[in-house]
Structure 1
């Protein structure tokens, strides 16, 4: 099982968002959860049944998108989208880790009612968290747990249909943005495969030449933006990573705003 925490900073460093210390604690706690899940008998048994695995990505943002669960081959992929203020009222310390654990457990309980062969629903606490609770600390609980949409698409959209939809997508009422939820799942499954094919050290270096340091979430959006530009641009970047530098510099699709459809297509939810 794998956990990954990302933090989008809508505040631009201004006061109001979760402190950097909170983000670091969340990432550290996520790493501990991953390690425990690999060793825990319950998770090991579940992972061996039908060869299931679960990857849970936790996103913090000002206006979170809907959270979703998707089955792709032998992997369940879950996006847990939380508001940026989900942890901000907590002081830096064990409470942050406990809130993350409680939130994930609440989500896993919800998943156990919606999927076949459900995963375990309990996670271990760290020694520091247990000691803090034993000394009288109060578990802050999960807070507001978002509802998860379960996507049951098991296969990616055909390559030809995918690129045809990309070519037809010019605004919010055309192409891929008109797909049903079932078709959107197949579309995003294909998009994930294409984005992964751009995840090489050479591609990252080319992006950093144009943009400077690139965070994990920005890097994912950059690759999604390449896909959104169409098949020709994608194939050029895929085969010639250095071409990404000029593409980023010369194309406003990488500057955010209405012209950048990459992120929206990567997390396409469908019209129903």
Structure 2
């Protein structure tokens, strides 16, 4: 079945695996797919609305161009987003702030879709610590994000990282269920496979850009499900299921209000 959208994820587990995932989901062609983000950084913020396609169609997702998209928060702030092309709707004056509850309301093709996301407080991202190991004579690298988890249980993190100027993104989600209130001990495994033309193998001199997001529990559940889906099925295939969305009325995708902190490391 054709993927609804391409998501590249990595997860450092006991088995230390990293891979690009072409996520084959349920064939639910014609469904609304929503990807919305708001951060504590300066806008504009974007909400992308497309439609899923059947596996027999080309890997091109039709844009929804005539939707009404409204973003609001529990402080009284509200804005109707303007269409910016390619299914993207953007804000002009809206400002994200930790601690607020954000509501996304979309009216499209006779249906209404809503979602809420609470932006957590930011956690200080203090740096990146490099390590390496050998497998069959080949060097692989890891980066340990340096941060101290707050004492209150329930913090959730998403790390998004890229290599040099390559647009390919890798994702890894963390929770504090094991390491609550302590310095982080879980590294990011950097890509180490160049067997295909589109693959990446990190080598000395590469520049790694890492974005740390503090996310809410429902967004964490969404990304955790993607990781679980990526490892299921025969031969590493995908179970025909969709990750649980935090958007109502059967929409696919997610709406995330999160903080952003960034760090860069040069592999030595």
Same fold judged by TM-score > 0.5?
no
Higher RCO, Cα 8 Å, sep 6+: 2
Using the size of structure 1 for normalisation, the TM-score is 0.31
